[in-house]
Amino acid sequence: MTNKAASFPFDQTIVWTPDESSLLDTNLGRFMKKHDLSTFPDLMSKSTSDIGWFWDSVIEDLDIQFEHPYSKVVDNTNGPEFPEWCVDGRMNIIHNLLDKWLENENTADRTALKYESEEGDIRYFSYREVAAEVARVAEALRADGFSQGDVIALFMPMTPELLFSFLAIIKIGAVILPLFSGYGPKAVTTRLQDAEAVALFTSDGFPRRGKTIGLKEVADEALESCPSVRRVIVHNRSNRKDVPFSAERDRDFENYVAGFPEISETTSTSAEDTMMIIYTSGTTGRPKGAVHTHCGFPIKGAQDMFHAMDLKPGETMYWMSDMGWMMGPWLVFGTMMIGASMVFTDGAPDYPDAGRLWEMVANHNVTHLGLSPVLIRALMPSGTEYVERSDLNSLRAVASTGSPWDPASWNWVFENVLEKKKPILNYSGGTEISGGILCGNFLQPLKPCSFSGPVPGMAVDVIDESGESVTGVVGELAIREPWIGMTRGFLNDRERYLQSYWSKFPGVWVHGDFAAVDDDGLYFILGRSDDTIKVAGKRLGPAEVESIVSAHPDVTESAAIGIPHDIKGEEVGIFVVLKAGATPNDELRADLVRQVMDELGKPLKPGFIRFATMLPKTRNAKVMRRVIQAVHLGNNPGDMSSLEDPASLAAILNAT
């Protein structure tokens, strides 16, 4: 184990404290009062010791309506790995996302979607208007022979048509298969084949920094090896005249839905019918298809937003995402279950300049802004002038996920965006979780880079190598009780699911994150545990090193990996990306080595520091440390389908 000081390379000062007088103004505060729970620890204890009571209470609190009520909220007969939820219940989640809001004029006319394109096109859609568009797509799919259980893929940018298609697939009882709009042909093929998709929604292309990125050509190449896909519906997003088109297979989106009615019956489904298959990449092997149901992912996502993030009906959440990353479906399910608004955008958040993100917040009265620390590190060199020129008073909180914070970036947001008055809701979980394990909230104090605690209902623990709970040192993030959003397993791969999460300790979900909880009960995520570096028996999280290196004024970002060492087992290697104008030289290298040694101690002295022009990242901006390590060592990097830029591999090979 690392020592306590090394576990917390962050400021341990509490910098934000909630206003206790406003406790009952929060969704979670009202929930606690209703159930006679006076403190957050009381809530956590009750929510994890009696999961049946808790999830039944959540369903009531969110007003989740069932066509036929469930007889039991959870049945653990098959063990914690495979619980059954909402037993005997029938409910298509579309009823709770759309249909029930149409029963009241006020909620029907509430804004569901706010869309702004990179070119500046702005369109708003009420719940009533979204329902009408969804009905047209649903009826077109039915007329084309698609029905309950069919797997239909989405390979589109974040446009209104994506939302309509997403909801329509669920409405007819089919299964959505969301794909990253930035995937290459091989990644698309792999997922379409594995899920046996029968149709695909795509676009001609989408804008990125003023240029059009072709999408249909990627889809066509992928489909050469996917004979199960018999229909492709193409949205004309970029008005391209040169898009390849198959008269037999392809259909123009607008022509496809034209003439169909704006009212459509929602197909009856079991609450536990499969609703979505969404893929997540592992360190080795093919991507994993996480299976989610009508009463699983949507309820967990909405509960995270409603309780932890305190999103209220009528408020607006803008979470920069893509539908192929779990935060895309999460955004849709959570906001629409609550009766709130979501923001969709395409293009880059810093184009035409670094002010676009903040202008979006002001223009659309965003109350909850979700971003990544990687984006903030990219925006910081532009200074604060872009933040200051936009009115951000609508913001109640900034939320973040994707990668661990470094203190400099966290404090930049806290001070310049939130004026030290509002919280940063740090959020960490995963595709298999349906949302968060840990999250900030409006009830607990915050330290830089910290999480307030577990999301209610998540029986979180930090454990050592023997499975015992630990405080003040780094351990594995684990979950000791089932929750409603947990994946129902990996598609066609039961054993891999069990091996991935349940194989270390009986009945305990070990998530694969390196974490620590301090004496104040605040949590810190320190990187993936499969990225863990073990130096002479001392376990070291990459984020511990990276937060120190990235605090240097010449450094934009860094990635720490473990490299073999004859005596220590492993030692630390660090790849560093410098800010524009900074010069890579031995003096700077020595300075960074000294900085790490001063903070972590001489035994953890880096074996090398190399300067690279860029780091390999996924399309949702996570640094791919395993790829960096593999490239550096000359090993097979495994699944590369989520790699954003292949040129980043050369950047590692050519690092100096």
- What average pLDDT does the chain have? 92
Q: Element (H or E) spanning 47, and its range?
A: helix 40-49
Residue 527: per-residue pLDDT: 74
Asked whether the predicted pLDDT for residue 569 surpasses 80, the reply is no
CATH, residue 319: 3.40.50.12780
Asked whether the predicted pLDDT for residue 282 surpasses 70, the reply is no
Return the ∠ at Cα 375 (arms to 451 and 11), rounded to 5°. 35
Question: Can you tell me the distance from the alpha carbon of 264 to that of 139, in angstroms, rounded to the nearest whole number?
Answer: 7
Same domain, residue pair 20 and 56: yes
User: Do the Cβ atoms of 39 and 20 come closer than 8 Å?
Assistant: no
pLDDT digits (tens, 9 = 90+) for 628-645: 988 898 888 777 777 888
Same domain, residue pair 61 and 186: no
Q: Is there a domain that residue 635 lies in?
A: yes
Q: Is there a domain that residue 453 lies in?
A: yes
Pairing of strands 316-319, 368-371: parallel
Query: In total, how many domains does the chain have?
Result: 3
Asked whether the predicted pLDDT for residue 540 surpasses 80, the reply is no
Q: Which residue has the tokens 């809701």?
A: 425
pLDDT digits (tens, 9 = 90+) for 292-343: 999 999 999 999 999 999 999 999 999 999 999 899 999 999 999 999 999 9
Sign of the dihedral defined by the CA atoms of residues 518, 524, 527, 528, in that order: positive
Q: With the CA atoms of 523, 527, 531 and 537 taken in that order, what torsion angle do they form, in degrees rounded to the nearest 10? A: -40
pTM of the predicted protein model: 0.86
Question: Can you tell me the distance from the alpha carbon of 234 to that of 252, in angstroms, rounded to the nearest whole number?
Answer: 5
Same domain, residue pair 316 and 455: yes
User: Do the Cβ atoms of 273 and 285 come closer than 8 Å?
Assistant: no
Same domain, residue pair 524 and 551: no
CATH, residue 619: 3.30.300.30
CATH, residue 197: 3.40.50.980
Query: Smallest Cα–Cα separation from 111: which of 95, 94, 128, 96?
Result: 128
The C-alpha R_g of the chain, in whole angstroms, comes to 24
Q: For 521, what's the count of Cα atoms within 13 Å in the CB-facing half-sphere?
A: 11
Asked whether the predicted pLDDT for residue 280 surpasses 50, the reply is yes
Query: Smallest Cα–Cα separation from 542: which of 555, 559, 557?
Result: 559
User: Do the Cβ atoms of 198 and 151 come closer than 8 Å?
Assistant: yes
Q: Element (H or E) spanning 358, and its range?
A: helix 356-363
Q: Is there a domain that residue 164 lies in?
A: yes
Sign of the dihedral defined by the CA atoms of residues 173, 178, 181, 184, in that order: negative
User: Do the Cβ atoms of 444 and 452 come closer than 8 Å?
Assistant: yes
Residue 168: per-residue pLDDT: 98
Same domain, residue pair 482 and 590: no
Return the ∠ at Cα 294 (arms to 190 and 491), rounded to 5°. 30
Strand partners, 598: none
User: Do the Cβ atoms of 10 and 408 come closer than 8 Å?
Assistant: no
Same domain, residue pair 318 and 403: yes
Write down which residue in 528, 549, 578 finishes a domain.
528
Asked whether the predicted pLDDT for residue 11 surpasses 70, the reply is no
Question: Can you tell me the distance from the alpha carbon of 296 to that of 287, in angstroms, rounded to the nearest whole number?
Answer: 21
Give the range among 171-185, 237-251, 293-307, 627-641 with minimum mean pLDDT: 627-641
Write down which residue in 257, 292, 324 finishes a domain.
257
Interval 47-62 mean pLDDT: 98
Structure tokens, 162: 């994506």
Residue 5: per-residue pLDDT: 37
CA 525 from chain centre, in angstroms, equals: 15
* Residues 6 or more apart in contact with residue 71 via CB below 8 angstroms: 87, 88, 89
Range of the domain at 186: 99-257
Q: Is there a domain that residue 266 lies in?
A: no
Same domain, residue pair 157 and 61: no
Same domain, residue pair 371 and 460: yes
Same domain, residue pair 482 and 609: no
Q: Element (H or E) spanning 456, and its range?
A: none
% the chain with pLDDT above 90: 76
Residue 538: per-residue pLDDT: 62
Q: Is there a domain that residue 600 lies in?
A: yes
Interval 576-585 mean pLDDT: 93
E strands, 13-156, where?
72-75, 84-87, 111-116, 122-126, 151-155
Write down which residue in 257, 285, 307 finishes a domain.
257
Residue 355: per-residue pLDDT: 94
Same domain, residue pair 524 and 583: no
Q: Which residue has the tokens 């640094």?
A: 623
Q: Is there a domain that residue 263 lies in?
A: no
Q: Is there a domain that residue 262 lies in?
A: no
User: Do the Cβ atoms of 509 and 430 come closer than 8 Å?
Assistant: no
Pairing of strands 424-430, 288-293: unpaired
Asked whether the predicted pLDDT for residue 253 surpasses 70, the reply is yes
Question: Can you tell me the distance from the alpha carbon of 553 to that of 543, in angstroms, rounded to the nearest whole number?
Answer: 17
Query: Smallest Cα–Cα separation from 573: which of 505, 506, 652?
Result: 652
SS3 at position 205? strand
Question: Residue 626: pLDDT band by 50, 70, 90 thresholds?
Answer: confident
pLDDT digits (tens, 9 = 90+) for 422-453: 999 999 999 999 999 999 999 999 999 999 99
Asked whether the predicted pLDDT for residue 8 surpasses 70, the reply is no
Residue 570: per-residue pLDDT: 82
User: Do the Cβ atoms of 455 and 310 come closer than 8 Å?
Assistant: no
Same domain, residue pair 509 and 544: no
Interval 228-237 mean pLDDT: 98
Same domain, residue pair 55 and 114: no
* Residues 6 or more apart in contact with residue 199 via CB below 8 angstroms: 141, 144, 146, 150, 152, 153, 229, 230, 231, 232, 233
Question: Residue 405: pLDDT band by 50, 70, 90 thresholds?
Answer: confident
Strand partners, 124: 114
Query: Smallest Cα–Cα separation from 408: which of 448, 447, 452, 439?
Result: 448
Question: Can you tell me the distance from the alpha carbon of 414 to that of 408, in angstroms, rounded to the nearest whole number?
Answer: 10
Asked whether the predicted pLDDT for residue 276 surpasses 70, the reply is yes
Strand order in the sheet with 122-126: 122-126, 111-116, 341-345, 316-319, 368-371, 397-400, 424-430, 435-439, 453-454
Question: Can you tell me the distance from the alpha carbon of 240 to that of 217, in angstroms, rounded to the nearest whole number?
Answer: 12
Q: Is there a domain that residue 50 lies in?
A: yes
